[in-house]
Structure 1
């Protein structure tokens, strides 16, 4: 195991050994836009680091906020937590935070950079290597996200990313990763998005993908299968994907690509039956098997692909490109998320050329999606993330939700209690919460609840889960005040002496399968919960009184 590789399965991000001088990094925040930059070693920084920068990087923050005696009441802890958190406010008024977790975002960017010959800043590259080493699993692989088991999808793409970043194939971490990948049958069993990215890099054949049917974008808008009926994130990803598939966009062969063709596969690259790989997904990656109907549909659509109309394909390509241009124009080249942004950038390079204004604008917006955290530089799920309580509403609306059962109970109790009645659904939700309170007074739910569709308790109580349960119980003024006080006591005890709370397990999931980090949840929800308890239960000895 090489230095910097973390043996972990739950929790984080955690601080790892930096690859650069962290004191030279600066975060620029302007109207919610947050971008990290590195001050070259020969230049003096124009200003000192802020507490937000030092805290985000895991540096000493004692010069900004000092330790004090442990809080004894909810109100003391809430005020202390608020005094800490307000110091993390950026200069433009928003709160920046780590919005990482998924491990398939950075590979897409790096593959696009390799294809389009975009040279990233050397400091970025070093910290990206650090990040990928930091989240490598003990078995040598990577998963869909930082708390996942190792998969072909995660391992093949993260391995490829490290090779693009210049790590030698004989590096101990890459040897372990390659062994892991080969033990799973190699990259032929990578799921569809992985097949797409490897085909773009020219280390997988486009014949190994089920058709993306570019002509679908020519359907009349009234048709049920029209792309406008798709979830927005799905639609905007498959838009540029379909363009790349239609034109078979692939990188030019170079020594790295030729080497990866040998490293990623168990069998000889030239002997692979690519058509046979279209529905080949490794067992460790298979989330939902293809239905008979889907398999039949692919069979028919692949038959059309083999004999498609050249005229219709050209019309579809023009339609796709028009939509990509519109997306870039409306979003200033950041799109709706990192995947669509990255593929849009690739398409603009292919069509408009590397010197074009459109492509150069795309390149200039790459930093918007990059975050330098405790464990290195990663690609975030979104841009300009503002970590405030309103994120609760935002994540529900856009399908990116906190962990399912406990947060669902909170949402149910709050929404249904507005009538001031106590519906049977609320009573059941409260019973559920009390039944799952842990011995130390807290609550803890594992992200696997979303995958298994049932409650999975974590090994230890979690700060964010405890807050959600308490907010739900307090919303209905539940009579079991002792249970509420036990949870509040745990939050008070877990607070650090400087007013922060420790980072624990990952707290968000989207599409039931991919976990997301919301690092500010550990600050926002305890302050909210403790403050509400103090207001609703002023006679409790644990509540405390405001000191004027």
Structure 2
């Protein structure tokens, strides 16, 4: 080992120490961690429009949210869906409407620039369905010109195509209340119009081909049904939809812990006759307050709404990072976090039981309160963390890890992969419906979730279990032709590849295996000249962006975690480690403006505040551990 390398190791050890201390400082007294999940300004615009519709919009909240929305406008007058991304028409329209609500005038310079872009991009007529639903609530779009969304959908049994369980959990929780809203067709005009955002052009057709034509005919048929005076199942469908919604309200007042079903469920219950002082409505509206971030800004307080919160995910990743940093499973921060995670285990069945009846519950959700929807990804990562804890320090960890393992095994899909929330949620027919023009609406297996499940099972001593072997086969079959893997829940091929390679190694595949060597070559070939890795979110829609983008701490760490599991002596590893150490702030954290989390590929993205800390700490900690072993 050279003197220069010893100096580098000292630098790495210092970086690990600073990052560990910074992470522990951020732990809550209860034991959890939670970073902000930053998305785009549609969250804030729709929150203001919801409150306007319910007549509960506070002027101070309106002003604070408007300051935030204005601060996110770019020089060209537009708003994007992620930092540095292209202009998004629907996001810009919603931001414009919110600022008009706040009193900004159409001839104000910033709105004039926004309007110029909106009209040039096709105007309201080319916006997505969800944007036009919001506009229809205020008479700025005709309900007649939206796709038919009948509430009778909720009455379909689970074996009938297009039933609500054919949708991903986040989509079904959104679609059911939307069918109520779209059926009751409320209109509460704004104190202004948005006529200046119209072009007068006809709305483009939704898709082409035989299937699109068939669903176009179905839509026209459903609209004829809407105009019929005889709808024998309508009253029962509306009643059942209301019951379905209420049955899924969580302890925090929300639905699924995410914004879309939350706001639409509030609207649906309100339109079904529940007053604002109804306990369900009070809990729902008060619960949104816990998702607000308030901080000082230019000209006064700014206020923004998180689309979701991730305490379980952040906490299990933080535990893994701390254990990677020093291996001390009796550390107070680790013990408190492990104890908190045990209390978050979900022991009641949810919607997942529709496809897996009789399976014992035993998973974890992403959020503080989401008992109806534990997910495989969180459960796998929580079990990986619990499996490394001292049972004497965290009693019950072993039993909880066993239950989580059994639940993950039971949720494997028929093709051998794992999805996020459900098993076998793969019927693509719902994707063809005319109102499915935004975001993923089904939940098929993905490489990143499957990799986390396989890695967990391997570390649990189940590498040779038939389910694990089927998961490995799924991963090998779904490797991209260039050697990478697609990242469903993180950006993108760097995330997918960074997850799969360590999983395959943990499951017993040798580093010389063709799939692993091709993946390593892909990662090394996409390392930036500065030593880091980055991938722009446009890689979801444009292959030329695969593995290309500004170096970020989280993505650099994902690549390093993969390479460290195979060949820690590669020059690429040393370069990546040096980049991470050099990019660290004095307080032990890292900056990361780029969004590296994914909600809906191609449509909705997330900046996870904790990613820039936990993943670099894990990568640097593992590097030190491997280097120390090699020196002995």
TM-score (norm: length of structure 1): 0.76
User: Is residue 2:621 matched to residue 1:531?
Assistant: yes
Which residue of structure 2 aligns with residue 342 of structure 1? 263
Counterpart of 1:417 (choices 490, 494, 505) is: 505
- What are the Cα deviations for residues 511-537 of structure 1, in whole angstroms up to 9, with x where unaligned? 211221112211111111111100001
Alignment of 1:198-347 (within 5 A): 198-251=135-188, 253-254=189-190, 256=191, 259-267=192-200, 277=203, 279=204, 289-308=207-226, 309-328=230-249, 332-347=253-268
Distance in structure 1 (CA, Å) of the matches to 2:509 and 2:274: 61
Counterpart of 1:465 (choices 541, 555, 572) is: 555
Question: Once the 2 structures are TM-superposed, how far is the Cα of residue 168 of structure 1 from its aligned partner?
Answer: 3.2
Counterpart of 2:35 (choices 84, 94, 97) is: 97
Alignment of 1:434-513 (within 5 A): 434-453=524-543, 455-476=545-566, 478=567, 480-513=569-602
Q: Runs of 4 or more off by more than 6 Å in structure 1? A: none
Which residue of structure 2 aligns with residue 115 of structure 1? 53
User: Is residue 2:277 matched to residue 1:355?
Assistant: yes
Counterpart of 1:365 (choices 278, 282, 287) is: 287
Question: Once the 2 structures are TM-superposed, how far is the Cα of residue 121 of structure 1 from its aligned partner?
Answer: 6.4
Which residue of structure 2 aligns with residue 82 of structure 1? 20
Question: Once the 2 structures are TM-superposed, how far is the Cα of residue 185 of structure 1 from its aligned partner?
Answer: 2.9
Which is further off, 204-213 or 174-183?
174-183
Distance in structure 2 (CA, Å) of the matches to 1:132 and 1:510: 21
Question: Once the 2 structures are TM-superposed, how far is the Cα of residue 331 of structure 1 from its aligned partner?
Answer: 5.9
SS of 1:73's equivalent in the other structure is: helix
- Aligned in 2, Cα 1:225/1:526: closer, same or farther, shift over 3 Å? same
Distance in structure 2 (CA, Å) of the matches to 1:145 and 1:503: 12
Structure 2 spans left out of the alignment, 5+ residues: 1-7, 318-365, 367-375, 382-418, 422-442, 444-487
Question: Once the 2 structures are TM-superposed, how far is the Cα of residue 424 of structure 1 from its aligned partner?
Answer: 2.0
- What are the Cα deviations for residues 267-295 of structure 1, in whole angstroms up to 9, with x where unaligned? 4xxxx8xxx53x458xxxxxxx4554123
User: Is residue 2:434 matched to residue 1:516?
Assistant: no
Alignment of 1:390-405 (within 5 A): 390=317, 393-394=377-378, 397=420, 401-405=489-493
Check whether the contact 1:369–1:382 (CA below 8 A) recurs between aligned residues: yes
Distance in structure 1 (CA, Å) of the matches to 2:55 and 2:89: 26
Which is further off, 451-460 or 127-136?
451-460
- What are the Cα deviations for residues 353-373 of structure 1, in whole angstroms up to 9, with x where unaligned? 233222222221121222236
Check whether the contact 1:97–1:518 (CA below 8 A) recurs between aligned residues: yes
SS of 1:509's equivalent in the other structure is: strand
Check whether the contact 1:147–1:515 (CA below 8 A) recurs between aligned residues: no
When the two chains are superposed, the root-mean-square deviation of aligned CA atoms in Å is 2.7
Which residue of structure 1 aligns with residue 303 of structure 2? 377
TM-score (norm: length of structure 2): 0.66
* Equivalent residues, number: 452
